[in-house]
A and B are shown apart, each in its own frame.
Chain A
Amino acid sequence: MLAVWAQWLLLILGILFFPGIGFCISIALFDEWIDRKFYAALQDRIGPLHTGFKGILQPLADFLKLLANEDIEPKAADKWGMRIVAVIGLTIPLLALLFVPIVNLSGILSFEADLLLLSFLTTILALVIYLAGWFSANRLAMPGTMRAASQLLSYEIPILMAMFAVALRTESLSVAGIVTWQLEHHRPVIFSLPMVIFFLIFLLSSQAELERSPFDIPTAETEIVGGWEVEYSGKKLAFFRLSADLQMVYAAGLGAALFLGGPIGVEMWIPAFADWLGTGASLAQPGGVMWVGAIRMAYYALIFAIKTTLIVLVFSTMKALMARLRIEQFLEFSWKWLIPVSLGLMIVTFFWVPWLDNTLWSKFEALFPGGAT
């Protein structure tokens, strides 16, 4: 039994280093490298090569180089506003990542109904982008902010639908509850037809939220010269770039937790393994075996990294395949297709999916030694 101060120390260390900020930033930079490499490969190029093994340190080098760059602030801009917005833009995805399960079945911070908080945080992020464009007082930033604001309305609703459809299915409003449900039922949420479509909707809308091509409308470089980002340089741009990477990890991690079982790997179907892992020590369960706890942490982190990387690969493939849409085309696509489809599926999920899943799944369950729930 650890003392109270030791628990607090471990929590703070956790937030700062291993499953928290340090780990998240390193996995964000790693995922940016994966994204750049794979995007280049899709285009028949090599991609970054020289810093580290096959250029794995290139995102870090870019970040450090941007930090060292000259920071230019226009005269007409709201200088303190720009600075504060850049910092907030970095902190929000970091905060959101603390709620995503990485080394445990729950995030570092977690409470009942934290899904609501997460949906709130992503909306705040869009607001930050709006303010970032507004403070920079640039004629090219204004269309960018307008586009960001109108885009917000059309991707946020499908994302919320997808999140709450999962919540409806698993009858839990906390991420930890959803992950536990998947472990207990021996299957990820995605193993049912409407949820597959919800997963696709989630990926598409996340692509729009991350402002990546084909939905990079607010920052379209060849149209409005970077949109809301246009006046940001040096440290502030570095913060926004890192924030974009972190958002990518957050979106991928949340998608993994909601649909693919989060950090749970093969033990989903091997109950003995799951039980053995359950004996490990953690903050929530201090009485367990220490070394099993350590192994479990490493194992979960590995599975988390694999799953997020797979989702990032899907993101970068999506980025390479299409031309950028116009803002009104995206709004049309979203309001005519994404939102009605997700609404309809929501109703289907509510009335039909538990019954359908149970009848279909009961035939399937015999195949696994996990047995009935």
Chain B
Amino acid sequence: MAKKKIKVASPKTGCAACMPNTMEIPLGPQHPALKEPEHFLLEVEGEIIVNVTPRIGYVHRGIEKLAETKTYSQNLTLVERVCGICSHVHSISLVNAVEGILSKHDFEVPERAQYIRTIILELERVHSHILWLGIAAHEIGFDTLFMLSWRDRELSMDLLEEITGNRVNYGINEIGGIRRNMTKEQLDKTIKYMHLTIERLDRYVEICLKEDTIRLRTQGVGILLPSKAKELCTCGPTARASGLAVDIRYDDPYSAYKGALRDILKVVTYDTNDVFSRVVVRLIETIEACKYIIWLVENMPDGPVFAKPPRKIPEAKILSRTEAPRGELIHYLWSNNTNKPYRLKITTPTLANILSVSEMLKGDYIADSTISLASIDPCFSCEDRMITIINKDRRKSKVWTWNFDQLRKYSREWNAKNKRWKK
């Protein structure tokens, strides 16, 4: 499909006598379509967007700094809270990093633990993608699809609740294995629920392919050409929807993807480069994920699920990559032979994808801005980091720069002041 973009005159060439013919419309930080605060300044001409300026940094939470003060097993519960939806994949990423260090020192994680971790990873992908389908439907005003898809998402949520004990931040990982084993009934129930989910997903694929209004709203909207996608370093379903076959599960396997699962792994791509292609890629990927879960349950090995790791993690620097539902997730860990990390650096997929949004939006209508933005499945709180703002033309902003020592001093003071909650 050709790139169908509307040619727009640059704002400078407009009639000089009249008002400047572009208008600035803020999208965020508070907007009903955004569930988290983020700001995009849209310059529009009539209904057509000519320029987009993203601005991040509203919900920086200092998780990387906090991670340095906690032990590894406490950190597993901390990094899970980076994202509310793809939480397990964060702890998998950290666990993989730590176990990667330990594997140099003859430490083996039991096979069954890896399988159960992967089941939860894929369950998480299922519920995250169905959640995204609902949000995308809500953005284009199709609330019935939103409600129905979230109803069917409950199946995978219930499974997660039953397997791990929590609905959102599962807390099932531990360095060296997992904390709960799966019983026979749970395995059977997983297969049953996954078949039900596949049935419902087939229905949604049918709806999305057949429904005229969905096609009208998504086809030819938010186009990201493969060359641009590569240039802007997109990842995950956003890249796959532009025809780039990148998938960390396949390219750089971890957990149970290393084994025989890699043979049945499919990298789903689609080549219309628009929002519709992202819908299709995500839906097909969800069905595939259900199939992987069934395969994993059927081929589940027996054995222990936990091996006791050493208390101290030897000194090393390691980079661990995982495929989150939204794309490539990177954890960089620097250990220093203690039970706490020296430095932990997290890069979430939204940070890689967010620049492609401004490319997608240019030349589209305002009406399409939210669905284009939602099509990368943004998760702003995960990607936010502290930045220095250089604001040229706005009101003078407060620039807050700290060097390392000042930051340390502030954190020490803060810690001393708020050490314990007290009555």
Task: Choose one: A225, A321, A328; the contact of B31 (CB below 8 Å).
Answer: A225
CB distance from A99 to the nearest CB of B (A): 33
Closest residue to B147 on the A side, CB-wise?
A43
B44: A residues at CB distance < 8 A: 143
CB distance from B275 to the nearest CB of A (A): 12
**Is A326 a contact partner of B144 (Cβ separation < 8 A)?**
no
**Is A43 a contact partner of B144 (Cβ separation < 8 A)?**
yes
**Is B216 a contact partner of A223 (Cβ separation < 8 A)?**
no
- Given that A44-B151, A325-B216, A326-B365 are known contacts, is A222 also in contact with B142, CB under 8 Å in the complex? no
* Cα distance A213–B143 in the bound complex, in angstroms: 9
B369: A residues at CB distance < 8 A: 223
**Is B24 a contact partner of A323 (Cβ separation < 8 A)?**
no
Which positions 258-307 of chain A face chain B at CB distance < 8 Å?
none
Task: Choose one: B23, B25, B47, B140; the contact of A324 (CB below 8 Å).
Answer: B140
Is A221 an interface residue when CB atoms closer than 8 A count as contact? Answer: yes
**Is A223 a contact partner of B33 (Cβ separation < 8 A)?**
yes
**Is B25 a contact partner of A143 (Cβ separation < 8 A)?**
yes
Is A322 an interface residue when CB atoms closer than 8 A count as contact? Answer: yes
* Cα distance A223–B366 in the bound complex, in angstroms: 7
Which positions 144-193 of chain B face chain A at CB distance < 8 Å?
144-145, 147-148, 151
CB distance from A67 to the nearest CB of B (A): 23
Is A54 an interface residue when CB atoms closer than 8 A count as contact? Answer: no
Is B54 an interface residue when CB atoms closer than 8 A count as contact? Answer: no
- Given that A322-B142, A325-B213 are known contacts, is A44 also in contact with B147, CB under 8 Å in the complex? yes
Mask: chain B, 350-382; 1 = CB below 8 Å from A; 0 = not:
000000000000000111111000000000000
Mask: chain B, 100-130; 1 = CB below 8 Å from A; 0 = not:
0000000000000000000000000000000
Task: Choose one: B46, B141, B147, B370; the contact of A323 (CB below 8 Å).
Answer: B141
**Is B213 a contact partner of A322 (Cβ separation < 8 A)?**
yes
* Cα distance A323–B214 in the bound complex, in angstroms: 6
Is A75 an interface residue when CB atoms closer than 8 A count as contact? Answer: no
Mask: chain B, 205-231; 1 = CB below 8 Å from A; 0 = not:
000000101101100000000000000
Is A347 an interface residue when CB atoms closer than 8 A count as contact? Answer: no
**Is B141 a contact partner of A324 (Cβ separation < 8 A)?**
yes
Is B20 an interface residue when CB atoms closer than 8 A count as contact? Answer: no
* Cα distance A81–B46 in the bound complex, in angstroms: 25
Closest residue to B33 on the A side, CB-wise?
A222
**Is B141 a contact partner of A213 (Cβ separation < 8 A)?**
yes
A189: B residues at CB distance < 8 A: none
**Is B24 a contact partner of A139 (Cβ separation < 8 A)?**
yes
- Given that A43-B143, A225-B32 are known contacts, is A323 also in contact with B217, CB under 8 Å in the complex? yes
- Given that A139-B24, A222-B32 are known contacts, is A324 also in contact with B142, CB under 8 Å in the complex? yes
**Is A45 a contact partner of B141 (Cβ separation < 8 A)?**
no
- Given that A43-B147, A143-B47, A323-B140 are known contacts, is A223 also in contact with B370, CB under 8 Å in the complex? yes
* Cα distance A142–B44 in the bound complex, in angstroms: 12
* Cα distance A42–B138 in the bound complex, in angstroms: 16
**Is A323 a contact partner of B31 (Cβ separation < 8 A)?**
no
B148: A residues at CB distance < 8 A: 43-44
Closest residue to A223 on the B side, CB-wise?
B367
Task: Choose one: B23, B33, B141, B144; the contact of A216 (CB below 8 Å).
Answer: B141
Task: Choose one: B25, B33, B143, B368; the contact of A320 (CB below 8 Å).
Answer: B143
**Is A320 a contact partner of B144 (Cβ separation < 8 A)?**
yes
- Given that A143-B366, A328-B365 are known contacts, is A222 also in contact with B139, CB under 8 Å in the complex? yes
Q: Which one of A143, A213, A217, A328 has the highest number of Cβ atoms from chain B below 10 Å of its Cβ?
A: A143
- Given that A143-B47, A222-B32 are known contacts, is A321 also in contact with B366, CB under 8 Å in the complex? no
* Cα distance A131–B367 in the bound complex, in angstroms: 22
Is A327 an interface residue when CB atoms closer than 8 A count as contact? Answer: yes
Is A373 an interface residue when CB atoms closer than 8 A count as contact? Answer: no
**Is A326 a contact partner of B217 (Cβ separation < 8 A)?**
yes
Name 13 interchain pairs, CB-CB below 8 A, sorted by A. Answer: A139-B23, A221-B32, A222-B138, A222-B140, A223-B370, A225-B32, A320-B144, A323-B213, A323-B214, A323-B216, A325-B217, A326-B367, A327-B365
> Which chain B residues have a beta carbon within 8 Å of chain A's beta carbons?
23-26, 31-33, 44, 46-47, 137-145, 147-148, 151, 211, 213-214, 216-217, 365-370
Closest 4 CB pairs between A and B?
A324-B141, A43-B147, A323-B142, A323-B213
7 additional contacts (CB under 8 A) given A143-B366, A222-B139: A45-B147, A139-B23, A142-B23, A222-B138, A226-B32, A323-B213, A326-B367
